[in-house]
Amino acid sequence: MATAIDPAKVPQEESTMGGRSPDSITHCYRCGGLMVMEQLIDLPGHRCVQCGECIDPVILQNRLRSLPISLS
């Protein structure tokens, strides 16, 4: 199941990936639970111990690419 990331909850430096790596994720954007490092199929990533959300660099990149752009 795909989940949406609330752009208001994503810090600016993380949304541009400048200055922060996926290794610095400590809480789940879906439920707020603890994220732990885990070896996913072929990449290291994070898994939430509370809801099971899995995040790796490719997932983050694809989600950030699909965020709507506001023209304000």
| Rounded mean pLDDT for each run of 10 residues along the chain, 72 residues in total | 50 42 77 92 90 91 81 66
In a 10 Å sphere around its CB, with 0-12 CB exposed, 13-18 middle and 19+ buried, how is residue 13 labelled? exposed
Q: What is the pLDDT of residue 41?
A: 80
For tokens 């099971």, the residue is 52
CA dist list (Å): 9 to 15, 40, 42: 10, 25, 28
